Amino acid sequence: MKKGILLYIFGIIILFSSCGTYKKLVQLEPTNVAEFSLDVFNGNYLNKTITKDSTYHATGHNLWDTLCDVNSTNGNKVKASDTAIVNLRFADNRLYAQLIENDTVLQKIVLKAKIKDEYLSVKRKYVLIPILPMLYYYYNYKLILANIENENLILKIYYDSSAAILIMAAREEGTTSAEFVKIE
């Protein structure tokens, strides 16, 4: 009985520990996003970020890598060059993404998403491995997209992970954003 109550409390804590990630991302700079429009959002974007002073740029990620990171069912990610083009299209609560290089589609992914305010909110990647009391692993990855006034794409990311093995524990949390050029 006591063990069941402890597991229930532990589950509630984990469930609510990631609440508020959308609010954190909306407040992240830049906040000058345009009203969401499918005509503006759907299109081709350069894979390389033009943001130079962010932690996102320091990781070496690009648009395609980020979209694949949140796609938990895709283990075979194609390595994309910075000159590649990413085609994004939103329809039927799905974000359809294609990696295009030299006029050839290299890979396609589909992500669950919904329009919330002026952002396109992609369903979070959420992993929880509880093997109490020896091991605990938690990973949360949230992504929202929007266009700014010049029709470029703004990508905002929240990540949170923690782990514990016996008496050792670690946690990492952060937010970052990047801008990508829209190609006509």
* Residue 55 belongs to domain spanning: 2-183
Percent of the chain with pLDDT over 70: 75
Q: Is the pLDDT of residue 12 over 60?
A: no
pLDDT of residue 169: 78
pLDDT tens across 125-172, in order?
777 777 766 677 878 888 889 998 889 998 888 888 888 887 777 888
How many domains does one find in the chain? 1
For the segment 45-72, the average pLDDT, to the nearest whole number, is: 75
Tell me the three-class secondary structure of 100-148, residue by residue. EECCEEEEEEEEEEEEECCEEEEEEEEEEEEECCCEEEEEEEEEEEEEE
Neighbours of 156 (CB within 10 A): 26
For the segment 75-91, the average pLDDT, to the nearest whole number, is: 85
Residue 130: cis peptide before it, omega within 30 degrees of 0: no
Neighbours of 46 (CB within 10 A): 19
Which residues pair with residue 127 across a beta bridge?
139
pTM: 0.79
